């Protein structure tokens, strides 16, 4: 039995970190509320005020924290997390930030991603006497770091060294005593970006946090970048990293908010382009275009612009119901669809509908939506999907299970259309997706579509890269490690306020 046989597939989380000249709890709290779409099972904050103080709880951000909690978390540096179950179960013990007490000092960690070799590292550390309190791979990360700090006594060196052991995807914010660090994995699978306000510097999973809170969005962290936050800016150095990253395509297709910028691409624009391409690839005689809210809205706009069909809000979303895709159990997802959406009969009755959605995984959700529209009087329902068929598991952070649970592995497109009771079904092509995202296929993680993964996974195929592509910009890493002045950044990558230390 492989170490992945009981691995619970995962979804993305939201992380945030701040360093300021005043208490950061309020900005962290509101930042987590802005990132609530990335995780709805638990939330937590950790700040430093003489020691690391943390508050975690199950539920939505505003359910976990009271005004009194925020007043009691008085530190000027801190981190936060919203979570959906990753490789651990949905219980309070697995909520983050995870805090450990070490001889070096307190360490708190918030993690977005999934570590594929967590079981191996856990076993190794257990043999060295480390005790684990949770089933989360995130605790494996923080224990590994604590072990490395204990061995080297140098935080920066430990940060470089411990990441060499991690196989998978990770964007991290760490509170190590009184300092916040942020790390993006060398393939940049998970998003992470940085912004600055008046007397404070912030990192977050999505740029929309900065805009909403009044910060200035600076840029995305680069692949393999480690930053140390200061109130007046940050210091940066990089890990060895491949020439080609592996940005998760599903961030643009579904997970991220449409008003976020991910790796230089506005999510809304990418989704409009997806819709335009869908209309070119799969036109159909119809009367209206109806999006499945929320991620289908921009795609429907694009489909409308190219097809000439009007967009109609034929499905109304109950905004107080969480995202069904990230509910932990299939039964909860199916009930959630009925609670979340309701058709407008006057917009639907007697119409030939093009229904736009971002993806089909199991097929049960879209089937219920199609049947909902039919009961409301739709004459025809033609389903158009904004990404190619999903056929392979994700080991890097999306809640998509084993192969036999993907409807695209069991049926042809025509058979899927019959199962979901649609008049027709059209998936976006692979070339259409890549063009819409304005990336090359070498710069995207397409593992769930192709079965080729950017990291080694036992029993799975790995995408091939030449030796020259494996470790780019080695001179920069060597210069940083030696303490030499690194080449100046471009204007788009310019550091804020504080130069790199010589």
Cβ proximity of 387 and 449 under 8 Å: yes
Mapped onto helix, strand or coil, the DSSP state of residue 9 is coil
DSSP state of 251: I
DSSP state of 480: H
Sign of the C-alpha dihedral computed for residues 14, 18, 24 and 27 taken in this order: negative
| Catalytic-role residue among 13, 193, 394, 448 | 13
Adjacent-strand bridge partners of 384: 356, 426
* Calculated CA dihedral for residues 387, 392, 393, 399, nearest 10 degrees: 30
CA 39 to chain centre: 9
- Residue 13 among the catalytic residues: yes
* Calculated CA dihedral for residues 111, 80, 27, 490, nearest 10 degrees: -20
* Calculated CA dihedral for residues 147, 150, 151, 152, nearest 10 degrees: 120
Residues 6 or more apart in contact with residue 103 via CB below 8 angstroms = 150
Q: Whole-angstrom Cα distance, residue 327 to residue 171?
A: 22
Cα separation values, 93 from 82, 144, 150, Å? 14, 18, 25
* Active-site residue list: 13
């Amino acid at each position: 039995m492989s170490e992945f046989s009981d691995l619970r597939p995962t979804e993305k989380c939201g992380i945030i970190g701040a360093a300021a000249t005043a208490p950061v709890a309020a900005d962290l709290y509101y930042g987590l509320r802005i990132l609530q779409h990335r995780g709805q099972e638990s939330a937590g904050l950790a700040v430093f005020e003489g020691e690391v103080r943390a508050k975690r709880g199950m539920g939505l951000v505003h359910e976990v924290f009271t005004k009194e909690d925020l007043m009691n978390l008085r530190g000027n540096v801190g981190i936060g997390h919203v979570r959906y179950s990753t490789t651990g179960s949905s219980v309070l013990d697995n909520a983050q930030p995870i805090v450990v007490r070490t001889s070096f000092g307190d360490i708190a960690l918030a993690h977005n991603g999934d570590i594929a070799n967590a079981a191996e590292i856990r076993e190794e550390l257990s043999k060295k006497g480390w005790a684990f309190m949770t089933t989360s791979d995130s605790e494996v990360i923080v224990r590994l770091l604590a072990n490395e700090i204990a061995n080297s006594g140098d935080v920066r060196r430990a940060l470089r060294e411990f990441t060499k052991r991690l196989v998978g995807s990770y964007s991290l914010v760490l509170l190590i005593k009184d300092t916040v660090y942020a790390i993006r994995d060398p393939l940049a699978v998970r998003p992470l970006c940085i912004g600055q306000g008046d007397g404070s510097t912030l990192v977050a999973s999505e740029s929309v946090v900065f805009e909403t809170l009044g910060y200035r969005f600076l840029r995305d962290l680069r692949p393999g970048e480690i930053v140390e936050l200061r109130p007046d800016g940050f210091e940066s150095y990089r890990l060895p990293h491949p020439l080609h990253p592996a940005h998760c395509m599903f961030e643009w297709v579904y997970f991220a908010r449409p008003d976020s910028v991910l790796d230089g691409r506005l999510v809304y624009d990418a989704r409009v382009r997806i819709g335009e391409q869908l209309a070119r690839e799969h036109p159909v005689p119809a009367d209206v275009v109806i999006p499945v809210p929320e991620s289908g809205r921009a795609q429907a706009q694009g489909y409308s612009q190219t097809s000439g069909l009007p967009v109609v809000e034929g499905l109304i979303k109950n905004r107080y119901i969480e995202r069904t895709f990230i509910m932990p159990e299939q039964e909860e997802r199916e009930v959630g669809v009925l609670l979340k959406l309701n058709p407008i009969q006057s917009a639907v009755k007697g119409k030939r509908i093009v229904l736009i959605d971002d993806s089909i995984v199991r097929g049960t959700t879209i089937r219920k939506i199609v049947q909902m529209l039919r009961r409301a009087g739709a004459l025809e329902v033609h389903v158009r999907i904004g990404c190619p068929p999903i056929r392979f598991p994700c080991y890097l952070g999306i809640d998509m299970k084993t192969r036999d649970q993907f409807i695209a592995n069991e049926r042809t497109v025509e058979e899927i259309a019959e199962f979901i009771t649609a008049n027709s079904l059209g998936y976006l092509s692979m070339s259409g997706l890549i063009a819409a995202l304005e990336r090359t296929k070498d710069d995207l993680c397409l593992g769930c579509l192709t079965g080729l993964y950017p990291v080694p996974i036992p029993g799975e195929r790995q995408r091939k890269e030449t030796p020259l592509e494996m470790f780019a910009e080695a001179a920069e890493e060597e210069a940083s490690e030696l303490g030499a002045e690194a080449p100046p950044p471009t204007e788009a990558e310019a550091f804020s306020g504080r130069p790199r230390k010589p």
